[in-house]
Amino acid sequence: MFEYTEYKLQKRRHKQELVRNEFKTVGNYQIPLIRKQEIDLDTISLISFSDTKQDDKENAYKTVHFFTYDWMFDKVYDRASESAEKLKQYYALLSPDFSMFTDMPKALQINSVFKNRWCGAYWQSLGLRVIPTISWGDESSFDFCFDGVEEGATVAVCTYYRENCEEEFMLGYNRMLEVIKPQSVICYDEPFPSMKGNIKSFLPTTYEWTKSLGWQDQAKFYMEKHTRNIIQK
- Residues 34-82 have pLDDT tens digits of 999 999 999 999 999 999 999 999 999 999 999 999 999 999 999 999 9
Give the Cα separation of 31 and 83 in Å (integer).
21
Distances (CA, A) of 44 to 64, 120, 159, 168: 10, 17, 18, 28
Mean pLDDT of the chain: 87
- What integer pLDDT is reported at residue 3 of this predicted model? 54
Residue 211 has pLDDT above 80, yes or no: no
CB count, 10 Å around CB of 64? 26
Give the Cα separation of 119 and 136 in Å (integer).
18
CB count, 10 Å around CB of 14? 9
Higher pLDDT, 222 or 91: 91
Residue 90 has pLDDT above 70, yes or no: yes
Q: What is the mean pLDDT of residues 180-205?
A: 93
Amino acid present at 85: E
Give the Cα separation of 121 and 123 in Å (integer).
6
Instruction: State percent of the chain over pLDDT 90.
Output: 74
Task: Give residues with Cβ within 8 angstroms of 29, minimum separation 6.
Answer: 110, 113, 114, 144, 147
CB count, 10 Å around CB of 181? 12
Q: Which of 50-54, 68-72, 148-152, 219-223 has the lowest mean pLDDT?
A: 219-223
CB count, 10 Å around CB of 177? 16
Q: Which of 6-20, 84-98, 129-143 has the lowest mean pLDDT?
A: 6-20
| Rg of the chain (C-alpha set) | 19
Instruction: State percent of the chain over pLDDT 70.
Output: 81
pTM of the model: 0.84
Tell me, rounded to whole angstroms, the distance of Cα 34 from its chain centroid: 12
Q: Structural domain boundaries of the chain?
A: 2-202
* Confidence band of 170 (pLDDT split at 50, 70, 90): very high
Three-class SS state of 138: coil
Give the Cα separation of 171 and 136 in Å (integer).
10
* Confidence band of 162 (pLDDT split at 50, 70, 90): confident
